Structure 1
Amino acid sequence: MSTTEDRVTAIVPSLVKEAVTAPSMHNAQPWRFRHRAGTRLLSLYGDPERTLPVGDPDHRALHIGCGAALLNLRVAAAYHGWRAVPELMPDPLDPWRLVDVVLEEDSGTTDPGLADLRPAVARRHTSRFPFSPEPIAPEILDGLGAAALLEGVRLIVPGSWHADAVMDLVHDAELFESASDAMRAEIVTWTRTGRAGEGPATEGVPSSAFGPRQHGTSAPARDFDVTHSAPDRAAAAFEERPQTALLCTEADLPEDWLRAGQGVERVLLQATLDGLATSMISQPLEWPELRDLARDPRSRTGFVQMVFRFGYGPAGAATPRRTVAEVLDIV
């Protein structure tokens, strides 16, 4: 009869396969997993070769992406009858060792809602299409807020003036980006349009996921076609007042970024189950002089880690992922 440790080793590849469907900035997929055969331990590492020195110099977005992968791993584990118990930043001497996960046989009493999210793991994709102006019901937004709280973070639905201020910051970030050759070059590095010399097709943002060009004013979705290499893209008018929400943490340390990442993915998965199209607006958070301005000074918002755009509209296209063999080491 196989031991618990043997069963863990057998299921680890399938858990990692679902974990890596998580979103990450520019789809850089900044994670690696390591499992020692015959144990119940699975470690999640940040990959220093997949950093974004211009857009993410402090590795905040890297931690958020890895936190999102951790949430997916917990969901997959729960679905398969396991409980994934994470320890964040377990080794002070190794800042790239982000999480140690111990897999335990689950009695079904711990956070049963995790397994319910599993159908959304494969369906969740970032949508860079216009959304309809149909308002989202308050009970759906309340449910998304509850999902965030389960991960120890807060989801703030901004009032009218705050929402307008956030969108002004998005437009400011677009101007900053257009004036930064280094930022634009980094984005080009992670886009895939069929040009010669591009990186592997298993990473980055493909032209199939660009969405339409904005017709008129600036779009709430980032335009990855920096070099205008996709001339056949249609133009479309995006919603004038996107329905946004801000995910916030009380502190702003690597542990908080990992919690934020878990909250980001839990909110996105719940929104997907609720029938919403989703995208993330990170542009103003990539510039230190803009990020602090995203906070509502009249409330205890904390530190803004992500801005969501929710609505009803086309689902986004799937983006590629590296194989499990490329991201998982079993030793």
Structure 2
Amino acid sequence: MATDRIDADTAAVLVGDAVTAPSMHNAQPWRFVFRRATGVIELHGDPERAMKRTDPDHRALHLGCGAVLFNLRVSAAWHGIGAEVGLLPDSSDAWLLATAALGTPTAEDQGLAVLYDALRHRHTSRRPFSDEAVPPPVLDGLRAAARLEGCRLTIPDRWHTEAVLSLVRDAEHHEEMDPLARAETDAWTAHPQGVAPAPRDDGIPAEAFGPRSAGPTPVRDFGRAHPVPDRGWAVFEEHPQLALLGTPNDTAAEWLRAGQALERVLLQATADGLATSMTSQPLEWPELRWAVRDPLESMGHVQMVLRLGYGPPGPATPRRPVTEVLELR
């Protein structure tokens, strides 16, 4: 497709699909610029939406922006448009994270279109999953999805899974003891009691908290500081199916690749009928992050811990309107 056929309305449609991507605390730390003359969409990070305490290096911010970039590629492919991506194209502008030159699709672009239906069905589920095992061929497909984006997905054994869950509990204790970390999470979490605040189009709403756990849980409990009436209790799966997404190095470019791999894996899992959530707590503390890595695997740096299984999907969480995140130039 020639760039002169890609107008502002088309760019808005692509961005509207892109922003369904996940981000830490649903902060949505991105903004876009569409260059009409060249048919290029720029992806910028938004430092005002960064987690200054628990993501001081902006690693998680880059992951979220990588995920939104992958969604942009999927949407473009479904609309018959190619997206030639360049990562970190301007060393003088640290917040210009990527460019996507829109044009004629390649065979690789066209292959992404099969994931389009999963874009708006993928939601983080903080509810219990069943004890049904994820079949090995499905896990192999998710590994292959990560490899297509230059990353690696490993499935920890029972011993290492328990070690990671122990690190999750350690990370929760770190946050409980750190008032700045607690305040940061609180800022992005709905307050269901008292005077109702104005509806917001970001953060974690109360309906996405999931039930309280009757025991150890592999998901973050956003409702711990904000009790929800009649929230209910549940027993989570005894042996969660975890997966570790990693990269050889730990640079900004690798974080963006990991974000794209993360979203590709999540969309493929959704298409395969799996429910998913992300367990990032131990990755937010440098003294714990190194221990998440499986010592028996040749993975350099763990970028995300995923939880996979069969269970109820999570609810849709709010997104900022396209008019707020897209600038036309």
Do the structures match in fold with TM over 0.5? Answer: yes
Is the 8 Å Cα contact of residues 170 and 283 (structure 1) preserved in structure 2?
yes
> Which residue is equivalent to 1:246?
244
Q: TM-score if structure 1 supplies the norm length?
A: 0.96
Classify the secondary structure of the residue corresponding to 1:329: strand
Runs of 5+ unmatched residues, structure 1? none
Letter aligned with residue 172 of structure 2: E
Q: Which residue of 1 aligns with 2:27?
A: 28
Counterpart-to-counterpart distance in 2, 1:252 and 1:199 = 39
In the TM superposition, residue 227 of structure 1 has moved relative to its aligned partner by: 2.0
Who is 2:191 aligned against? 193
Rounded Cα–Cα distance in structure 2 between residues aligned with 1:229 and 1:166 = 27
Q: Give the structure 2 partner of residue 205 of structure 1.
A: 204
Gaps spanning 5+ residues in structure 2: where? none
Q: Which one of the candidate residues 284, 300, 303 is aligned to 2:301? A: 303
Partner of 2:93: 94
- Tell me the amino acid that sits aligned with residue 310 of structure 1: L
CA contact (8 A) 1:189 1:198 kept: no
The equivalent position to 1:115 in structure 2, one of 105, 113, 120, is 113
Per the TM alignment, residue 153 of structure 1 is displaced from its structure 2 partner at its CA by 0.3
User: Could you tell me which amino acid in structure 2 is paired with residue 249 of structure 1?
Assistant: T
Return the alpha-carbon distance in structure 1 between the equivalents of residues 279 and 254 of structure 2: 19
Q: Deviation at 1:58?
A: 0.7
Structure 1 residue matching 2:227: 3-state secondary structure: coil
Deviation at 1:198, TM superposition (A): 5.0
Residue 130 of structure 1 aligns with which residue? 128
| Runs of 4+ residues over 6 Å off in structure 1 | none
| CA drift at 1:196 | 4.4
Distance in 1 (alpha carbons) for counterparts of 2:186 and 2:198? 10
Tell me the alpha carbon deviations over residues 25-44 of structure 1, each in whole angstroms, 9 at most, x when there is no partner: 00000000001222211100
Aligned to 1:17: 16
SS at structure 2 position matched to 1:22 = coil
Task: Find the partner of 2:139 among 141, 144, 153.
Answer: 141
Aligned residue in 1 for 2:53: 54
SS in 2 for 1:122: coil
Structure 2 SS opposite 1:145: helix
Deviations 1:230-277 (A, max 9, x none): 132110000111000000000000000000000000000000000000
Identity of aligned residues (%): 55
> Does the 8 Å CA contact 2:73/2:109 hold for their aligned counterparts?
no
Q: Does structure 1 conserve the Cα–Cα contact (< 8 Å) formed by 2:18 and 2:72?
A: yes
Residue 272 of structure 2: which of 268, 271, 274 is its match?
Answer: 274
State whether residues 8 and 103 of structure 1, in contact with CA within 8 Å, keep that contact through their aligned partners in structure 2: no
SS of 2:327's equivalent in the other structure is strand
Q: 2:226 aligns with which of 225, 228, 245?
A: 228
Match of 1:39 in 2: 38
1:193 Cα deviation after fit: 2.8
Query: Who is 1:177 aligned against?
Result: 175
Per-residue CA deviations over 1:12-53 (Å, capped at 9, x if unaligned) read 000000000000000000000001222211100000110111
Distance in 1 between residues matched to 2:25 and 2:292, nearest whole Å = 21
Equivalent position amino acid for 1:80 in 2: H
Distance 1:314 1:25, change over 3 A: same
Q: Output one character per residue of 1:50-78: Cα deviation in whole Å (capped at 9) or x when no partner.
A: 01111111100000000000000000000
Deviation at 1:192, TM superposition (A): 1.4
- State the superposition RMSD in angstroms: 1.5
Q: Return the alpha-carbon distance in structure 2 between the equivalents of residues 297 and 198 of structure 1.
A: 46
Deviation at 1:197, TM superposition (A): 8.0
